Amino acid sequence: MKRVLVRYGELTLKGGNRQQFITKLIQNIKFRLKPYQEKTTLIRDHNSLIIEVADDFLERLISDLQTVFGIYSLSVIEKSTWDLKDLQAQVLKIVETNLHQAQTFKLEVKRIDKTYPLTSTEIKQFLAPLVLQTTTLKVDVHHPDLKVEVVVKKDQIDIFCSRIKALKGLPVGVSGKGLSLLSGGIDSPVASFLTMKRGMQVDFIHFMTPPHTSPEALDKVFKLASQIAKYNYQSFNLYVVDFAKMLQELNHIPDQSYKINIMRRMFVRIANKLAVSEGHQALITGESLGQVASQTIESITTVNLVSDLPILRPVIMNDKEDIIKIAKRINTYEISILPFDDVCSMFVPTNPVTKPRVWLAEKQEASLMWEPILDYIMASEIQKFHYHEGEFSQVVFNQA
């Protein structure tokens, strides 16, 4: 069996909510490890978690844990008792395991339990000569090839040689539930991912306009939601809205330069109604300030005014290059750039207004019969798909 130390990081600073956050994190970890739960044992510590796992599942375990928000870092550890001979044996074991391509080492000791009879310096003086005598390693306290860390805890000592970076953030589920407007582009999946990082469970809503948008464009959205599912809550929903009738009505706007702004206002109105009925507490979009005409501060203000819920915009201050880097890291970029356009990209006016005025947007809407169409969409043009254990299934959706 191998032992993996899971560090909580930010969660240990949460004061009165600390145990609630840690409990949620452990629930999420257990769910992620469900496929091989019989091969693992979880042991809770004060500020960390130790997972014992069968040797042949170690790499898979670490890979899965690196997708769980709330974990600060991981280490494969050897455990020793307070007995000095046992400590020597375990230090040598982990050094020999990590000896390949290493020429220098450094020994660091931390005493969490100060009742241990030796000081940190004395432990170093006891262990370092042993490593020097039994290996070809030399000491380098500044830039060692191998850093051996010894942590003295109550009744045991942990020894490890590396800290594997994890996602950090907060466990998904501690910050409520949001509804993300998933377009099929690069930005909205990244915005959803960053929202999950702050502990919010994310459901998705997508607007399609058949026959203008293709089945491939819709399939692309399902693929994006599936790709970031491993970062999300245990299960989630994807709502697909047929926006075709509303789009036909938007073609009658007197000033076509306002079309994309009015369209976004309609998206947000529909998303608001759905979110309220389904228990969401916020909307999430992938807007980046000034990136396109419809994302100027004036355009954002025009859209905000029709929302009763807060609209979270996690990438609002990121440039495209930053967003693409994250998209590539979470493996959504190659899906997002598939050549199947969504409704926003297909119906951008030739000369969109960059500084819309609210009263002019309202005047454009006043010339349309949008309210009965919106009611019709809410009543009969939304499909609900539930994601659980790697698959989407359509479920009966009572929109009354």
* Rounded CA separation 19/233 (Å): 19
Strand spans (E) along 245-289: 282-284
Residue type, 380: S
CA atoms of 73 and 290, how far apart (whole Å) = 36
CA–CA separation, 3 vs 19, rounded Å? Answer: 23
SS3 state of residue 197: helix
Q: Position of tokens 């262990």? A: 127
Strands 201-208 and 177-181: parallel
Domains, the chain, with CATH or none:
2-165 (3.30.2130.30), 177-395 (3.40.50.620)
Identify the sign of the CA torsion 220, 223, 225, 231.
negative
Helix (H, G, I), strand (E, B) or coil at 119: coil
Contact (CB, 8 A) for 269 and 362: no
Which pLDDT value is given to residue 90?
94
Residue 69: closest CA among 9, 14, 17? 9
Distance, CA of 259 to CA of 104 (rounded, Å): 65
Along the 400 residues of the chain, how does pLDDT read in single tens digits? 899 999 987 776 666 678 888 899 999 999 999 988 889 999 887 678 999 999 999 999 999 999 999 999 999 999 999 999 999 999 999 999 888 889 999 999 999 999 999 999 999 999 999 999 999 999 999 999 999 999 999 888 999 999 999 999 999 999 999 999 999 899 999 999 999 999 999 999 999 988 877 888 899 999 999 999 999 988 999 999 999 999 999 989 988 888 889 999 999 999 999 999 999 999 999 999 877 767 889 999 999 999 999 999 999 999 999 999 999 999 999 999 988 766 665 566 677 888 899 999 999 899 999 999 999 999 999 999 999 988 999 998 766 5
Instruction: Tell me if 222 sits within 8 A of 386, measured CB to CB.
Output: no
Q: How many CB atoms lie within 10 A of CB 36?
A: 14
Cα angle 110, 116, 118 (rounded to 5 degrees) comes to 80
The reported pLDDT for the residue numbered 175 is 95
Q: What is the pLDDT of residue 292?
A: 73
* pLDDT value at residue 46: 67
Identify any residues that bridge with 292 across adjacent strands, giving them in sequence order.
none
DSSP structure string for 51-78: EEE-GGGHHHHHHHHTTSTT--EEEEEE
What pLDDT shows up at residue 375?
95
Residue 13 has a pLDDT of: 65
Alpha helices in 49-152 (DSSP H): 58-65, 84-97, 120-134
Which pLDDT score is estimated for 342?
A: 66
For residue 35, whether the previous peptide bond is cis, meaning omega lies within 30 degrees of 0, is no
- What is the pLDDT at residue 398? 66
d(CA 110, CA 154): 12
Q: How far apart, in Å, are the Cα atoms of 372 and each of 249, 289, 368?
A: 11, 32, 10
Residue whose structure tokens are 């019709």: 376
Position 20 scores a pLDDT of 87
Q: Residue 359: what pLDDT?
A: 93
CA distances from 339 to 80, 128, 180, 247 (A): 56, 59, 22, 22
- For residue 282, the tally of other CB atoms under 10 A from its CB is 19
**92-117 exposure pattern, b = at least 16 Cβ within 10 A, e = fewer:** bebbeebbeebeebbbebebeeeebe
Question: 207 pairs with which residues across the strands?
Answer: 241
